[in-house]
Each structure stands twice: as C-alpha cells, then as structure tokens.
Chains A and B, each alone.
Chain A
Amino acid sequence: MALNKVVANVEEACAGIQSGMTLMLGGFGLCGIPENSIAQLVKMGVNNLTCISNNAGVDDFGLGLLLQGRQIKKMISSYVGENDEFERQMLSGELEVDLIPQGSLAERCRAGGAGIPAFFTPAGYGTEVGEGKEVREFNGKPHILETALTADYAIVKAWKGDTAGNLIFKATARNFNPMMAMAGKITIAEVEELVPVGELDPNQIHTPGIFVQRIFQGERYEKRIEQRTVRPRA
C-alpha cells in the first residue's frame, strides 16, 4: 500500500517551520520556485532564516518577498544579482551571503541527501572560494574539499506529483529541486497537479516519494518570466 503524503493546503504543509531554521528552496531564477510556500512563509512571519537557494528572487517576487520583510538572515547561493533590496541589505551588513559555485551548490545538496559528508571538486581551487579548504591532488590536479548541505525543511516545486509524493518536473523547472528534495529533513513538495497513486508512470518519475514528506496542490501559479526573449513572428 502506497504511503499517503498529502496535506490539505499550504498552511499544513509549512506547519512547523520556525524562525532561525535552515531552508532549501528549489528553483533557478524564478523558474521552478515554490511560489505558494514562499507566500506562506511571508504570512507566517518567520525570520532569521538561512535560505539555501541558487538565486534570491527579484524585488517583488520569489525570495525577494522574504527579503522585503527582512525574514532572511543568511543566503547561500551561486548568483544573486537581480535584486535591489538584496544589494541594499548585503551592503549594509544586515544580510549574510555565502556565494558558492553553482555545480558545488548542487552537489553539496545532493551529497547531503545521499549520506556523503564531503567531496573533492576542482571548482574554486586557486580562488577565494578555496581559501581555508583542504586541498588534495587527484590525477595530478588539485581539488578542494566541499561539505554536504542539509536543511530543516526543503521546499520544492514540481509539475505533477502523486499522493505518495512521487514527482515529475517540467523542462528546466527541474534544476535544483530534485537534490534539495533529497537533502531536507522534512521535504515539502508543492505541485501544479496532484494525482492519485498509479496515475504517474513509474518509469517517468524524477523524484521518488521517499524523499518527500508532505505534498499539496498549489494554487494560482504566476510563473513569472525574468527575461522574456522572443523572435518576432514574420
């Protein structure tokens, strides 16, 4: 019998998230971000959060909404430039920022979920990212030791999910979501379409439900586009 991970709504899904916790939030830019849960975190007013997310949203969307309310104490990201409020808080010292090479960020989340405490990577060797980190040579090339990341709650967004928590992502909205789902002590998945078990083809599932503790169907996805680039129709 498949386990049932369904919670009624975003309030139930985010219950237990407290000030001072470490959260992982999926998405790349505004693509594949858990919109409903972010709105709920704003409503809950939790603060002093450490947020692990590739980006920090824009001023009025994504994690920018949490920055506006000064709910974030520290960001762990690879690229954060799209946000005036972020810049202001960073320069004034209100916000701590840890910048990590994107591949190392992805792998540190994956490692966190996979029971691997640390790994060696060539990325960042010889740069300030490598400062103070253990260096070892493999195959004649220097590598630095990077440690795994985990979170109290990981919050991910998928396209389709079933009641057992199995997830399928759409196109490039997958990005960091699968690794973060693995690395959360509690993982919350919000999905555009929640279906009964058996409706998703087991061959096509990207994230097995074992990594997901709570799943709910999100509402009113805005899916804002950050850089709308098009070719004119002839």
Chain B
Amino acid sequence: MLDKNGIAQRIAQELEDGYYVNLGIGIPTLVANYIPQGVDVEFQSENGILGMGPFPLEGDEDADLINAGKQTITAMLGAVYFDSATSFAMIRGQHVQLTVLGAMEVSQNGDIANWKIPGRMVKGMGGAMDLVASAENIIVAMMHTNKRGESKLLADCSLPLTGVGCVKKVVTNLATIEITDGAFHLLERAPGVTVDEIVAATAGKLVVPDEVPEMKL
C-alpha cells in the first residue's frame, strides 16, 4: 500500500519532458518532489506564476510571491508572472499539459466531486472547476477509501460535482486506474496490494484484466 508520498511518486512517472503542469493542494503538491531524472517540466500555479520553485529558505520569504495554496514559494530561472485572466487562459485554452488534483469522489464515467459537502461550511471551488472543465489530461491523487472506509470510486458521485466526464486516471494508495467507456480499468496494483483488496474497495464498475502488474516505484 502507498502513503501520500508514494502516490505522488507514482504520478510523477506520468510527467513528460516539456510538460507544463498544474498541481493542486495536498498530495498533488508532493509530485514536485519526484520529477524523474532528465525530465524538464514547469509548474503553473493558477494565482499567476509559471516556473514555480520550492519553498524559500528561511528568511527569504516574500509576501508578494505565493502559490494558489497561499504558501510562500520561489521562482525558478525563466519564471513568469501574469494576471488571473491570463492564468486561466492557459488552463482553459489547454496550454497546460497535465493537471493533478485531489478528490472526495470520482465516478466511473470520470465525474469528480471535490469542493462541497452539503451541510458543512462551503469554502468555494477556487480554480478547480476551470481546471477540470478544460484540462486534456487530469490525474486524480487520492486515498481509495474515505475515513469511514467507504469507497471513493463510485458508479455515481453522491456529492455536488466539480466537473463531468473529465478524469482520465486515478492513482490511489491501492492502485492505478484508468477511466474509459464508463468504467474503471485496473492498470496496476500498489506494492503488496492484491486485486481482491482493490475490487473490495471499489464501489463503481471495475474492469480487471487477467494480468495486473505491481507498480514500479
């Protein structure tokens, strides 16, 4: 079974040389720690930077330089700043090649719910709806089940949707799963996890091939 860092490490294998990438808050942020050798990517943060670097060294933090999670960051050589309309032009215009974000629920036709729980304080969708509506390549990073042990991979989302039919791939603590033709397709098992465990933790329709390789990290 993978921990959060393991999920990030697996998703980092999806990075290709020359990609512009938007990482959401939480597990997705950790993907930046596992960029494969020889792969050059640039990170976009929707508040207005391309070429986002790591957190600043203590004492170097700048209130004017933050990411979409409002954390202090640094800028890489060649970075560029822009306004919010330009930022979402990059996103909606499909100039960003890969979007990684967290989710509360994903459905077998690629719907995603990650912004609102009825009856609880609603904080807002931020940029998530714009991101999922337009990205060509969306990977969801999340735990396979919620805190009550219930599956987060469902036939239909029960929570209010962030976007419809947009998620192509999900990497969880248990598996790598592709979404096509209205079903989850099991691609890989996490280290030490059996197919039966994945089947048991998946509420939506799961297509299991004869051979399911273990992830290589």
Contacts and interface: CB of A to CB of B under 8 A. Distances in A.
B133 A121 contact: yes
Given A28-B84, A106-B87, A172 B49 contact: yes
A233 B133 contact: no
B161 A127 contact: yes
B168 interface: no
Nearest to A114: B85
B54 interface: yes
A11 to B, nearest CB: 26
A16 B130 CA distance: 36
A69 interface: no
Interface stretch (A2-10, A197-205, A209-217, A218-226): A218-226
A102 B162 CA distance: 13
Interface string A59-85: 000000000000000000111111000
Interface in B35-89: 45-49, 54-73, 75, 81-85, 87-88
B47 A172 contact: yes
Contacts of B204: none
A31 B70 contact: yes
B124 A79 contact: yes
B48 A28 contact: yes
Contacts of B165: 126
A80 B124 contact: yes
Contacts of B85: 103, 106-107, 109-110, 178-179
Contacts of B55: 229-231
Interface residues of A, number: 59
B80 to A, nearest CB: 10
A175 B63 contact: no
A148 B31 CA distance: 36
Given A171-B65, A174-B48, A179-B85, A227 B124 contact: no
A99 B115 CA distance: 11
Contacts of B83: 106, 169, 174-179, 206
Contact of A122 (B49, B92, B124): B92
7 closest Cβ contacts across the A-B interface?
A: A103-B88, A81-B123, A103-B130, A126-B164, A223-B63, A106-B84, A101-B129
21 contacts: A28-B48, A29-B66, A31-B47, A31-B63, A99-B124, A101-B129, A102-B88, A102-B130, A104-B130, A105-B84, A107-B88, A123-B92, A169-B83, A172-B64, A172-B66, A179-B83, A229-B72, A230-B55, A230-B57, A230-B61, A233-B57
Interface of B: 45-49, 54-73, 75, 81-85, 87-88, 91-92, 111, 121-130, 133-134, 160-165
Given A97-B122, A109-B85, A227-B69, 14 more contacts: A28-B68, A79-B125, A103-B92, A121-B133, A123-B92, A128-B160, A129-B129, A171-B62, A172-B48, A172-B65, A173-B63, A178-B83, A228-B72, A233-B57
